[in-house]
Amino acid sequence: MSYDLIVIGSGPGGYVCAVKAAQLGLKVAVVEKRATYGGTCLNIGCIPSKALLHASERFDEVGHLGALGVKVGPAELDLPAMLAHKDATVKSNVDGVAYLFKKNKIDGIIGTGRILAPGKVEVTKAGGATELLETKAIVIATGSDSAPLPGVTIDEKRVVTSTGALELPAVPKKLIVVGAGVIGLELGSVWRRLGAEVTVVEFLDRILPGMDGEVVKQFQRMLQKQGISFRLGTKVTAVDASGETLKVSIEPVKEGEAAAEVLDADVVLVAIGRRPYTEGLGLSEAGVALDERRRVKVDAHYQTSVPGIYAIGDVIAGPMLAHKAEDEGVAIAEILAGQAGHVNYGAIPAVVYTNPEIASVGATEEELKAAGIDYKVGKFPFSANGRARAMLQTEGFVKILSDAKTDRLLGGHIVGTGAGEMIHEIVVLMEFAGSAEDLGRTTHAHPTMSESVKEAALAAWTKPIHM
């Protein structure tokens, strides 16, 4: 069988690339090694974790409704039903991708893809049979998998990655999360709300590296108020799984600061990051170059070192975000169809889906200082927002960063309820090179949480009204 495009991987980058290419008239096939489409995101990542985050937040919310005049008895956890909701959500989404393939006449092929040469992909099926596919172009969209912790064996039962953490059959009494990144904090917060005692061990001296420092400091205090403990500047050196209780050895990153310790845990979640999935694809044999972190090297048009072979998403440089992969998928599809595909990497939002959420786009203060850019800061707390007060959701604030000379928006950072939805007006404005004044002069419905975004923009431009 011959195609215009073969995509290896059906995650957000891969399936969106395939759909867009088919819409533009290309004959497309997608090779997927899982039994279902959607990649890590839909099967064992973004989607199931958000189902559990939402469900656990509603469970926790029941205990705080008295302040709103709603009297209810203590909430009772039905964990199997919560996990069933998660599974049903996954099925709905992966079935949706299969529908999109059918609707757009895309051939979905279940099997493991290997690039033999430009234009040739060998697919190994479950029974061992192979099929050779020919194509004009190949897009590698194989994503990433969990980075291992040296010396620690993952069994996905007691020592788990995010995959196992989505399937725990009971709430652990003690959960140790190794890594204070997005995945560790999101899943740690799920099990904390459901009753686990959660300790986060982080190698660095801060949580959420790369995000705005001021936002992160306040956010850590919020998580501590929720009962999550942090051991920063600390490394895990071993996990002993020989007994009924896991024994987790930790010690300070800087020698001499404190003595080594052993912590007890029922479950250990290893969430120290993700690594690009490039194994078994035949890349070296095909001549596809990788960088020092084993990511696929690409040019400005997503082409690898081999003409006709392209790559997008987590498997190339840049933030490992599903929506970044989607935009790259659209861009390369347009390029292959003769159009001018493009991604604005300066306006890609990032969200931490805890409660409250963190949302960010553009530069942080730390990045602007390092670059020597003269900037202005506008901040507005939700405690001064009428809708937030009515909802008892006054924690957090909005921060707007703008160029001191031109007033152009350089970054936006929000910590608070609904931050992941509110960030997008800042994203859109940055996409169109708008200014703090533009945002501050834009009418916002009253009363809404989003008025805090307007007020922060006014603070960056001139002065806020309500503070």
pLDDT digits (tens, 9 = 90+) for 299-356: 999 999 999 999 999 999 999 999 999 999 999 999 999 999 999 999 999 999 999 9
CB burial readout 232-248, b (16+ within 10 A) else e: bbbbbeebebeeeebeb
What pTM value is reported for the model? 0.96
Residue 190 has pLDDT above 80, yes or no: yes
Note the pLDDT of residue 255: 79
What pLDDT does 237 receive? Answer: 95
Per-residue pLDDT averaged across 171-186, rounded?
98
Q: How far apart are CA 194 and CA 173, in angstroms?
A: 10
Contacts of 279 (CB under 8 A, 6+ apart): none
Active-site residue list? 446
What is each CA distance from 158 to 56, 145, 175, 242, 329, in whole angstroms?
21, 19, 10, 11, 36
* 257 has a pLDDT exceeding 80: no
Provide the pLDDT confidence category of residue 259 given band limits of 50, 70 and 90.
confident
pLDDT at 61: 95
Indicate the residue type of 298. Answer: V
Distance CA 347, CA 361 (A): 6
Q: How large a percentage of the chain has pLDDT more than 70?
A: 100
Please check the confidence at residue 258 and state whether its pLDDT lies above 90.
no
CA angle 116, 121, 125 (to 5 degrees): 115
Residue 93's pLDDT is 98
Contacts of 19 (CB under 8 A, 6+ apart): 100, 101, 104, 106
The whole-chain average pLDDT of the chain stands at 97
Answer whether residue 1 shows pLDDT above 90: no
The predicted-structure confidence for 57-70, as pLDDT tens digits, reads as follows: 999 999 899 999 99
Among 150, 52, 35, 182, residue whose Cα is nearest residue 95: 35
Between β-strands 397-403 and 375-381, what pairing exists: parallel, antiparallel or unpaired? antiparallel
Confidence at residue 439, expressed as pLDDT on a 0 to 100 scale? 98
Residue 111 has pLDDT above 80, yes or no: yes
Share of the chain above pLDDT 90, in %: 97
Whole-number pLDDT of residue 285: 95
Does the pLDDT at position 213 exceed 90? yes
Backbone angles phi, psi at 171, to 5 degrees: -75, 120
Helix axes 46-62, 79-103, angle to 10 degrees: 140
